[in-house]
Amino acid sequence: MSWIKFTKKGIYCVPGKFYLDPWLPVKHAVISHGHADHARWGMRHYLCQDATKPILQHRIGADISVESMPYGAQRTINGVAVSFHPAGHLIGSSQIRLEYKGEVWVFSGDYKVKDDFLSTPFEAVKCHTFITESTFGLPIYKWLEENELQQQLHNWVTLNKENNRTSVFLGYSLGKAQRLMKLLNGLDQMYVHSAIDNINNAIDSAGISLPPTQRLESNFNKKDLEGKIVILPPALLGSKMLKRLPNAATAICSGWMQVRGNRRWQSVDAGFSVSDHADWDGLLNAVKSTEAEKVYVTHGSKATFSKYLNEIGIEAEEIVTEFGEEDDTAKDETNQSSI
């Protein structure tokens, strides 16, 4: 009988008496990273990696009960050894390693195996059982190397500047925005929406340096932004703020943009395949690197990915979770905003 259970509240460690990224309120939650589908309001106590702590306090509440540990440190909870290991998904993102009576499980949360030179790179963790995401678990998904992606973005910004256009990138406030900042650093002055700036401040409080940006105030001077770079949350697509930007060229940044059909997204000028998740090869390499005897596949293309794992001799099974909807922190802010 397994000591890890898949329940209606979340993934439950029976002897440890805690949940992994639960989606309903529980007493003790061990959290992989700060995205809203993995770190939710209502837990009595949170445990996370050090860099994730200020993100949780910003997104969920400054007064929450939360403890944190550095990567690789170990804590024993009711006989279960718990440690956090880099997932490469975003700053502070972690795989959660659990060991009980000599058996090791690893819960991946969300992860990316390609180094973005901002997040701590993904670390393969050996285990008996691996719980993996499969967001982009189809062979059609294959990401560019970081330097190739950077060149694409730089070329687009250069073209826009030649045509006196302001380059506006739309990406999630946590994770995607900081990665865009890294990719675009040094090209020109970067302005970010307040929701992104607030997240940046939380990350900065953890002692992590980010590229310099300027907060985009509601009363911005259009002249100051001409030909510059602006990073906004996707929730602002079609907003009054976006319409006020001078001669804006807009780009959606998402892994879904690799599928041409997704370019139908609301009349943007460009789409770039910028993803904080592993592509098909990344998922396969990550699973194989764990040497796991059993793999549970969560959100994404789990039917295809688990079927393929079984075909190549890795025992795999689909499980139902409520992960996958990475709500953007800007939604509440922009809904209340007049800009």
Residue-wise pLDDT tens digits, 18-77: 999 999 999 999 999 999 999 999 999 999 999 999 999 999 999 999 999 999 999 999
Using the 3D structure, point to which of 272, 290, 315 is the last residue of a domain: 272
Task: Decide if 296 is inside a domain.
Answer: yes
User: Which structural domain, as residue segments, surrounds residue 303?
Assistant: 4-140+277-327
Task: Decide if 335 is inside a domain.
Answer: no
Q: What CATH code is carried by the domain that includes residue 317?
A: 3.60.15.10
pLDDT value for 244: 92
- Same domain, yes or no, for 22 and 114? yes
Residues whose CB is less than 8 angstroms from the CB of residue 63 and which lie 6 or more positions away in sequence, other chains included:
none
Phi and psi, residue 328, nearest 5°: -90, 135
Task: Decide if 220 is inside a domain.
Answer: yes
Residue ranges of the chain with pLDDT lower than 70? 1, 260-266, 325, 327-339
- Same domain, yes or no, for 208 and 311? no
107: left (phi over 0), alpha (psi -120 to 50) or beta: beta
pLDDT value for 233: 96
Using the 3D structure, point to which of 247, 272, 297 is the last residue of a domain: 272
pLDDT value for 1: 66
CA angle 107, 108, 114 (to 5 degrees): 165
pLDDT value for 257: 84
pLDDT value for 98: 98
What's the CA gap between 72 and 298, in Å, rounded? 24
- Same domain, yes or no, for 129 and 11? yes
- Would you state the structure tokens that stand for residue 25, as one six-digit string? 């309120």
pLDDT value for 337: 34
Task: Decide if 336 is inside a domain.
Answer: no
- Same domain, yes or no, for 119 and 29? yes
- Same domain, yes or no, for 113 and 167? no
pLDDT value for 267: 75
Q: What CATH code is carried by the domain that includes residue 168?
A: 3.40.50.10890
pLDDT value for 258: 79
Q: Supply the pTM of this predicted model.
A: 0.94
- Same domain, yes or no, for 247 and 282? no
Tell me how many domains the chain contains.
2
- Same domain, yes or no, for 99 and 51? yes
Task: Decide if 334 is inside a domain.
Answer: no
- Same domain, yes or no, for 21 and 136? yes
pLDDT value for 327: 58
Task: Decide if 332 is inside a domain.
Answer: no
Task: Decide if 338 is inside a domain.
Answer: no
